[in-house]
Chains A and B, each alone.
Chain A
Amino acid sequence: MGHRITVDNAGESFECPPEKSLLSGMESQSKKAIAVGCRGGGCGYCKIRILSGEFETKKMSVKFVTHEEQAQGFALSCRVFPRSDMSVIAIEEIQSGNPYAKKNVTSKIS
């Protein structure tokens, strides 16, 4: 069984087994609470702030999460593996974005 991950500001929660990243756990349940980018810790798209819970991380690009930010609980959810139930906040789209992009992005948190 997985751990229950709550994305506070999206009003959404999902189960995530310990061997899956939070982002992959979310995707496998077809939920849209956090923006899905590269799934490899390189693009910063899936950035979250962790409010509570135990977890392990894999290496994340410091371009998008500095070491200071990591100490404050910021992380890239495609590189976070749950070790208990967790509560997180999805950060709004991090890149200003292409003006020609569609604006109705389902994963965008307002």
Chain B
Amino acid sequence: MKKGVMRTGHIQIRVLDLDEGLAHYRDRLGLLEMDRDDTRVFLKGWTECDKYSVVLREADEAGMDFLGFKVDSDARLDELRADLEAAGYATEELPAGDLPDCGRRITFVAGTGHRFELYADKVSTGRHGVGHHNPEAWPEDLKGMKATRFDHALLYGEDLASVYTLFTDVLGFWLSEQAMDGEERIAQFFTCSMKEHEIAFIKQEGNTGAFHHASFYLESWQDVLHAADIISMHDISLDIGPTRHGLTHGATIYFFDPSGNRNETFCGGDYFFPDHPVTTWDAEQLGKAVFYHTRELNERFLTVTT
């Protein structure tokens, strides 16, 4: 958190059918429906304190509209906006309330074609069901996979070099992990917290603004297996898993929402402090880096995006 960016705070995902999308994220992933407007539904994981972290919008195509990072104060928004402008990014300010119960947002587009935004304020509703005063361990009314929080996103694009500078220099993230093909960085994982990654990018030539997955945190490997059971019980489109990644070492399972957007639920893995060395994987070891057990790359995981 070199420059006040605290975490990946929210993501707006396009779905082809809002009711189908909502049923998936609420009843299968176990997110809580917090609000609605004319075109969108707002959800969050039960441990998240802010009112929502996932926004679903019905559209003619799947994919990600934008990813928002929460910063530690309103004053930071002006500082970071000036830094973005100085680095050549065209920024725009969206007024408070443009997203319900959220303060003003600074929005811009990265070199990979992804739209990002910064905000400082959102209504806090606290931890669902347990609150913050002598709280019980967990609420008893959770559904499906009981996802605890929206954790991170992985995006695909071509111009990884400019995104590296954007996240490290301009936004004050740290590079935690990378995959290198000789001198070229083909995967880059960034964090601004103790999480091993808040956001990651993988290089894919000819692809812009592509959405690979939104990831949700579970407490244990048993919960990952439970998520796998839910996937089978409801005939959800499975991508791969349960397995473990070499990169970040999280235990994971990947699947698709009814509009083809990839989701991940995972547990465990590495953690980060600013004095940690960067972890590097070589391109020759990429199979093991991505799927630690089979050590084989999977065509669908590497190329399918929305």
Q: A interface vs B, CB < 8 Å? A: 36-43, 45, 58-64, 93, 95-102, 105
Contact = CB atoms under 8 A, between A and B. Distances in A.
B234 interface: no
Given A96-B206, A100-B181, A101-B299, A38 B256 contact: yes
B258 interface: yes
A38 B297 contact: no
- Which of B206, B305, B306 is the most central at the interface, judged by chain A CB atoms within 10 Å of its CB? B306
Contacts of B305: 43, 95
B259 A41 contact: yes
A62 B61 contact: yes
Given A43-B62, A61-B62, A105 B259 contact: no
B106 interface: no
B175 to A, nearest CB: 20
- Which of A36, A97, A105 is the most central at the interface, judged by chain B CB atoms within 10 Å of its CB? A97
Question: DSSP class of A's interface residues: helix, strand, loop or mixed?
Answer: loop
Contacts, number: 101
B288 to A, nearest CB: 12
Q: How many of chain B's residues touch chain A, expressed as a range?
A: 20 to 34
B303 A100 contact: no
Contact of A98 (B60, B259, B302): B302
Question: DSSP class of B's interface residues: helix, strand, loop or mixed?
Answer: loop
Nearest to B20: A40
B297 A102 contact: yes
Contacts of A38: 62, 237, 239, 256, 260-262, 304, 306
Nearest to A104: B299
Interface of B: 16-17, 60-63, 181, 186, 202-207, 237, 239, 256-262, 283, 286, 296-297, 299-300, 302-306
Contacts of A105: 299
Contacts of A45: 300, 303-304
19 contacts: A37-B300, A37-B304, A39-B260, A40-B258, A41-B16, A41-B259, A42-B261, A43-B62, A43-B304, A43-B305, A59-B60, A61-B16, A61-B306, A63-B63, A96-B207, A98-B203, A98-B204, A99-B205, A100-B283
